Structure 1
Amino acid sequence: MRLRFLLVPALLALALVGGLCTTVPVATAAPSPTDGVVASAPPNPALAGDVGRRAYDYGFPLMEFLRVRREMTSVRCPDTLGNAPVNAFSHRPLPTDASDRTVVAPNTDTLYSIAHLDLRRGPLVLSWPNMGKRYFSFAMLDPFTDNIAIPGSREDGPKAGSVLVRWRQSKGKARPRDYDRVVTSKYRRVWVIGRTLASSTRDQRRAYRKMTQYTLTRPSGRARTFRDGCRPGKPASYPTPSDGETFVRRLNRALVTNPPPFRDRAILAELAPYGIGPGLDPDDAALDPATREALYAGIAGEAAYLPQSIKLRAVQGALTHDGWFDPPEGLGDYQKDYTLRAQIASAGLGANKRVEAIYPTGVLDSTGLPYVGTNTYRLVLPADDMPPARYFWSLTMYDSDGYLVPTPTGRYAVGPTHPPYVTRPDGSAVVIMSPTRPDDRTVNWLPTPSGQFRLNLRLYGPSRAALKGTWSPPAVQNLGPLPVGPLAP
């Protein structure tokens, strides 16, 4: 669904979404993937462009899943950057930094443990030690980026445990008594994103020691091994294609090896006459040149527009919520919301379900303007209204494309798990975002980039109030381009 946008706020937001209107007319609403507009008419140029756009939205998350999988598993043995051959973990001993551009909007609160499973030859057992009070989770994503399960603190508690992960088509039955529980996947390919909370440098070392005790084994206890002295090598790059013909051909192949769920039958029926679907070929669809050209142009146009569409959606949502956009229900379990699924794949691939974590995104300040790094901003979190999170919360700064902002201090986030974190005598916390360090040492400083940026507030283990929206973050005050010195209260 394309968002209708109010003219005045749209003009204010152009600095954030830079040139958006030159790509796709944002005031034009496109039918949703389930409107059934296309199914009643034979392929023709008038409809082909819209079909192409919807095909891209439908297929992009799967293609991104496979891109990340192929890139991360292209190494010879596990490295410490998140890359490892299939059925093996790669543990990162340090938080993500601004040099990492594999996925957008990574957090800096946790250390990552990444694994890509292939369950074709049988199930795997994921085990972990007693984690005490330390938050941990293993989000398990299927190729369509839905969360299958999230073993960890919330689902399993702090004690040592194990889950058996099996492919539904595997022969034989799993014996739950041998494990804490069984996770059954509809797909043989599963992406495991492990997150282990770590704060100070010293604590990161303690967290990493726990992570090295995470294991992936066969039920027999055998783990994948690698020769001593193996050098992982640099992961290859396999960008998701944006030209229409290449995208369709690769998507059709991907849908054969990753059969779409039954719920997608309606949209696949609409795409099939254009040669898009499992095992189909556009050449067999006998499209006339004008229809084919319009189809591929629609795909290319959506590839260019998609990264901007989530920004536009965020800005519209932020207009009525003090500058913050909270992604809607369905995050991590998208069902037929193909537009949201594509937007999240573009803006935050691998997102958790909301019950695990929510991600309010700050895109507008208290004056309704996008964030610009030359200004100074202030966020005040009252002592009696701190972000209500069971496990932890943090505020992270990204550039307008969703990547971490290089800073002179190497600090990307503020929160209780990001020392030094300071509060005032009344218990409130003040965050200052500015290009230069403020003199006031009772505030938490986030250095700003020279250009535009956005904020992400993370709440892991959000309260019911946060999930229902009865709690929301306060507005961020724009103090203008202030000089270095004390900040007015």
Structure 2
Amino acid sequence: MTIKNNAIAAVAISASLIMTGCHQSSNSESTLIQSTEVLEITDAALEDIVRHSYQYVAMYNVNNKFALAQGGWNTVHADTQLKDHTLTDIARPNNDTLYVFSLLDLRDDAVIIDVPAFDSSYASLMVTGYDHYVTVPISVTKNDFQVPEKVLFYTERTSGYSGEPVEGIDRSIKVDGDFVSAAFRVMPHANEPEKFTEIAEQMQGIAVVTLNEYQGKPAKPVDRTPLPAVGRTDSDIYANNFLEVMQFVLNHTTFDTNDPLDQAYLTAMKKLGLQPGKAFDQEKSIAVDGERFRAVADKVRMDMFARTQDPVFTAKHGLDLFKTKGEIDLHLLVLQSVIGPVGLPASEAVYPPVVSADGEPLNAQHDYVIKMSKDELPPAKAFWSVTLYDSENGFFIPNDHMKYSVGENAGMVLNAEGGIDIHISAEKPADVPAENWLPINRQDERLDIIMRIYDPELEAYKEYSVPNAERVTAS
């Protein structure tokens, strides 16, 4: 991603493929011609394909589902309250900030976002496309949001615009994908009702307009060709329409000839008969075993879940997630795409998991408590939270109390010494404030607990010991 503000070799995948159609043409490999040739693919080769494609599958699913949910592309949806368990479009969403989602289609015209000033301790604008490389061009950590701005977005494929200055535009941002999410996170100061109302009104002022409309011209016609279907889960895409989705991604993403991961992905897709600039043809495409792809994708997902429960691994890599191209390796790209897409880099927030004190997986058959003294509270310059999810999907635990996290915005009560005990239990203990209780449903269900620390004191965080969840009772 290139921002204007004022001014290796390809990696071969040694895989063979099961196919009913083999690609071959007289002068190039860009045309598929059906063949009776049958090749086989090994389990290792298939897993390699899944790992090199997971970031694209996950972000296609996330970005497109949000676009569908809010009425299409080049739209804006601003929260007026914290998210609840009805949100199932993304794994491990926030329940401690308000969101504004702007889903941008940059094929036919550049798009401009009106960014307001925010009177909040934390606000940021995060941008990512299908490749899941994350950029935060605007943040309170950079002393932004002091004054309103107009920010223009485009790609190298945007029709009619290639980066020239536009009067009245404060920033011009070139992104790598034709379809991107520009996501605002804003601390709502929910414990200050008047300020909460003011911030929610500021969020409603965010607007999206195409460049033609901004310049007083008629809006350009929009390509209404249906996009490939999304899946309820990433594994559904692997099972149902993986090749179609990947061809679409290839056609709407910029790839760097000098980036090893970009070239490895292109090589993997070429093995499947997919290349940038081609039209997907179901009749001539390679036939793949969707359920086998699903099984491998599920295996990769569970492997990544297991890594997040390893304190040594998270301590080593907790500051290395959600970075720009060239700053993050494939393993961590897959991990962030599996665990919770659309996150912030460590300069903005860190997301350490809270694991059980006994080393066993957290399970709703038991109750737990997380204890922190005043000196053990997270090193946050803005604020922190602790959020509970089901492990299988990464969704909030449904409950009648609509309580999913503990923190300054979702509610918390410090004790007389300035510390806090957070209880995860089926029934609220009598002497525990409701703000410090995270309800569970008594059943055999794996749980995940994520701590979020916004605008962290990074040097202090390197020495910080994340608290464990201690088991209180057994069923």
Structure-2-length-normalised TM-score: 0.77
Deviation at 1:186, TM superposition (A): 2.7
Q: How far, CA to CA, are the matches of 1:49 and 1:282 in structure 2?
A: 26
For 2:413, the equivalent position in structure 1 comes to: 422
Q: Deviations over 1:22-70 (max 9, x none)?
A: xxxxxxxxxxxx995734x776967543232222222233233333343
For 2:251, the equivalent position in structure 1 comes to: 256
- The aligned amino acid for 1:120 is R
Deviation at 1:280, TM superposition (A): 8.7
Q: Deviations over 1:62-92 (max 9, x none)?
A: 2333333433334xxxxxxx61432221112
For 1:57, the equivalent position in structure 2 comes to: 51
Deviation at 1:270, TM superposition (A): 4.8
Determine if contact 1:88/1:224 at 8 Å carries over to the other structure. Answer: no
- The aligned amino acid for 2:399 is T
Q: Is 1:68 the equivalent of 2:58?
A: no
Q: Deviations over 1:426-480 (max 9, x none)?
A: 211111222111122468222223232110100111111355x321312222222
Matches within 5 A, 1:187-266: 187-198=177-188, 199-200=190-191, 202=193, 204-218=196-210, 221=214, 238-239=230-231, 241-242=236-237, 246-262=241-257, 263=259, 264-266=262-264
- The aligned amino acid for 2:176 is K
For 1:477, the equivalent position in structure 2 comes to: 470
Deviation at 1:107, TM superposition (A): 0.6
SS at match of 2:298: helix
C-alpha distance 330-238 of structure 1, shift in aligned 2 (>3 A): closer
For 1:408, the equivalent position in structure 2 comes to: 400
For 1:30, the equivalent position in structure 2 comes to: none
Q: Is 1:447 the equivalent of 2:439?
A: yes
SS at match of 1:151: strand
C-alpha distance 175-154 of structure 1, shift in aligned 2 (>3 A): farther
2:175 corresponds to which of 165, 185, 199: 185
SS at match of 1:102: coil
Q: How far, CA to CA, are the matches of 2:316 and 2:353 in structure 1?
A: 5
SS at match of 1:73: helix
Q: Is 1:309 the equivalent of 2:299?
A: no
For 2:153, the equivalent position in structure 1 comes to: 166
Matches within 5 A, 1:367-382: 367-382=358-373
Identity %: 17
C-alpha distance 189-415 of structure 1, shift in aligned 2 (>3 A): same
Determine if contact 2:151/2:173 at 8 Å carries over to the other structure. Answer: yes
- The aligned amino acid for 2:407 is G
Q: Deviations over 1:107-143 (max 9, x none)?
A: 1111211111122344333233331234222211122
Q: Is 1:318 the equivalent of 2:311?
A: yes
- The aligned amino acid for 1:405 is I
Query: Structure 1: 5+ residue runs without aligned partners?
Result: 1-33, 75-81, 227-235, 483-489
For 2:429, the equivalent position in structure 1 comes to: 438
Q: Is 1:351 the equivalent of 2:343?
A: yes
Determine if contact 2:124/2:136 at 8 Å carries over to the other structure. Answer: no
For 2:76, the equivalent position in structure 1 comes to: 89
Q: How far, CA to CA, are the matches of 1:466 and 1:86 in structure 2?
A: 41
- The aligned amino acid for 1:97 is D
For 2:118, the equivalent position in structure 1 comes to: 131
2:104 corresponds to which of 84, 92, 117: 117
Matches within 5 A, 1:41-52: 48-52=42-46
Q: How far, CA to CA, are the matches of 1:320 and 1:347 in structure 2?
A: 14
Q: How far, CA to CA, are the matches of 1:245 and 1:49 in structure 2?
A: 19
Mean CA deviation greater in 123-132 or 166-175 = 166-175
Q: Deviations over 1:256-312 (max 9, x none)?
A: 23243332113433552442443398999998xxxx76x766523222223312211
Q: How far, CA to CA, are the matches of 1:63 and 1:473 in structure 2?
A: 31
For 1:268, the equivalent position in structure 2 comes to: 266
Q: Is 1:465 the equivalent of 2:440?
A: no
2:140 corresponds to which of 127, 134, 153: 153
Determine if contact 2:353/2:451 at 8 Å carries over to the other structure. Answer: yes
Q: How far, CA to CA, are the matches of 1:204 and 1:254 in structure 2?
A: 39
Determine if contact 2:52/2:268 at 8 Å carries over to the other structure. Answer: no
C-alpha distance 248-286 of structure 1, shift in aligned 2 (>3 A): closer
For 1:38, the equivalent position in structure 2 comes to: 13
For 1:10, the equivalent position in structure 2 comes to: none
Q: How many residues align?
A: 421
Q: How far, CA to CA, are the matches of 2:318 and 2:338 in structure 1?
A: 13
SS at match of 1:408: coil
Q: Deviations over 1:189-237 (max 9, x none)?
A: 22111112122493543332111111223456479999xxxxxxxxx97
2:388 corresponds to which of 397, 403, 407: 397
Q: How far, CA to CA, are the matches of 1:38 and 1:296 in structure 2?
A: 20
C-alpha distance 66-269 of structure 1, shift in aligned 2 (>3 A): closer
For 1:143, the equivalent position in structure 2 comes to: 130
Determine if contact 1:126/1:163 at 8 Å carries over to the other structure. Answer: yes
- The aligned amino acid for 1:71 is K
Q: How far, CA to CA, are the matches of 1:242 and 1:179 in structure 2?
A: 38
Aligned Cα RMSD in Å? 3.6
Q: How far, CA to CA, are the matches of 2:13 and 2:81 in structure 1?
A: 49
